[in-house]
Structure 1
Amino acid sequence: MRASRWRGHTSGLAPAHVQGNLMILPRALAEDFQRFCQQNPKPCPVLAVSQPGARDLPALGEDLDIATDISAYRVYEHGEMVAEVPALTRLWRDDFVSFVLGCSFSFESGLIEAGIPLRHVAQGLNVAMYRTSIPTRPAGPFHGPLVVSMRPMKAADAIRAVQVTARVPAVHGAPVHLGDPSLIGIRDIARPDFGDPVTIEPDEIPVFWACGVTPQAVAMAARLPLCITHAPGHMLVTDLLNRDLPFM
């Protein structure tokens, strides 16, 4: 990624390693966002926070540059996405604070090890993500809808998936909803707001997890003056291993 040789999403990539969502904010907004994460731990489980202006995150990797080591970044101004860029070197500011949040890609290896097939991984697709009608708990200027990721499963697999993911709250934990998407405000399951659509077979149900793209929906709803995020599905791949995540 740093050398611009990988520009794709990271679903199924480096499956043993912890992946993270990114939110970069001016220092003036960082304290409120920290409170927002504390109020909303399901979509925003904090793995690491940088020092103001620092591009390294020693807790996540010995040689890590948050401005170059993600395959695609999105820049938002006043709630609108104004650019998607491969690096932040020219945009970096000394007052930027970086938050890395847990990602559901980190629990996918556990689901696969448990014998639960994941269609988007098998097909090389990004996971499907949707805005919902579920509100987040506000903090300062931060407010907006919960975003969820969806994986179709047979009922028995869905029960097992709840058991597997409930053990890892650092990467979103157990699902927030199973079944009828209209009950959480999703009008068309075939048209995700982010990521790629996947087929739901007649003997399957959609299973929804809180998603770390929620801060992007919040940035749009709150019309934040400036923030930078990862492009959905284009995660920070850390040196941490999934097996070392804290368990319940």
Structure 2
Amino acid sequence: MTDLSIPHILRQEIRARRFRAPTTGVGGDALQANLVILPEAEASAFLRFAQANPQPIPLLAVSEPGAVALPSLGQDIDLRYDLPRYRVWHEGVLTEEPEEIAALWRPDLVSFAIGCSFSFEAALAKAGLPLRHQEAGRNVPMYRTTLATRPSGAFHGPVVVSMRAMPAAAAIEAVQICAHMPLAHGAPVHLGDPAQIGITDLMQPDYGDAPVIEPGDIPVFWACGVTPQAAILAARPAFAITHAPGYMLVTDIAADQAERHLRGVHGL
């Protein structure tokens, strides 16, 4: 039986199109990444936007133009094939969701790997905290909010959040665990009443699947790496590629070692 807890094996299964599901609960304790790919002409503006919004858009790696690899995140990564599903945008309009993007690749494309909340789920599970979406075999629910990003150039828009419902005591422990993982969005941005951040119907997420909420649970919201997709809707670049929400790049880096690893790679 294929061991999907080993990142490079999981990527091989994705590349062979044998694994096509959301990546929550797979890849072991590996750091997972959202993906934004833009033409070089748009890349500098997006880089400044990411740097201005480090909690929803924690940068893990930026490629050279045309490069399909991200060596700092894994030696055999090929960004054209190694996510289970992508999104393609033209003028800010979502036009398709392919399973690979080789035919769309161009020598001017710059790729941004962005931290993902799936990266802290193994730590929450190890602490015995509930992950209701995993238990139900669902993608995590994600919502557009009234929280605003800090604009940069044409890029602006709302912060998108992911939500995991859990008892209040578990939520407190989750805050403590995630505060030490800034490259996976860090501590939650909101707990409790979703209306306070502009979410009118918790059962109707903008992305992902409907949540599972047990009696006594409170909703806990983390900043989400789908935030750039809301910014792409607003900025309307001529061409962009992103991950499909919940379908991530799984790296070779242990999530709890990510900051130390990437500081060493980048000489910080």
Q: What TM-score, normalized to structure 2?
A: 0.90
- Of the three residues 81, 84, 87, the one matched with 1:74 is 87
- Is 2:145 the partner of 1:109? no
Match of 1:219 in 2: 232
Paired residue secondary structure (1:158): helix
Match of 1:65 in 2: 78
Match of 1:133 in 2: 146
| Conserved? CA contact 2:58–2:115, under 8 Å | yes
TM superposition shift of 1:115:
1.2
* Root mean square deviation, CA, Å: 0.9
Match of 2:206 in 1: 193
Which stretches in structure 2 are left out of the alignment for 5+ residues? 1-13, 261-268
| Conserved? CA contact 1:35–1:139, under 8 Å | yes
Amino acid corresponding to residue 89 of structure 1 in structure 2: A
Amino acid corresponding to residue 57 of structure 2 in structure 1: C
CA distance in 2, matches of 1:199, 1:10: 18
Percentage of matched positions with identical amino acids: 57
Match of 2:107 in 1: 94
CA distance in 2, matches of 1:29, 1:233: 24
| Conserved? CA contact 2:42–2:237, under 8 Å | no
Between Structure 1 and Structure 2, the one with more helix by share is: 2
CA distance in 2, matches of 1:199, 1:21: 23
CA distance in 1, matches of 2:28, 2:137: 13
CA distance in 2, matches of 1:59, 1:84: 27
Paired residue secondary structure (1:120): helix
- Is 2:44 the partner of 1:44? no
- Of the three residues 245, 251, 264, the one matched with 1:238 is 251
CA distance in 1, matches of 2:231, 2:215: 33
Paired residue secondary structure (2:173): helix
CA distance in 2, matches of 1:78, 1:184: 28
Paired residue secondary structure (1:41): coil
Count of residue correspondences: 247
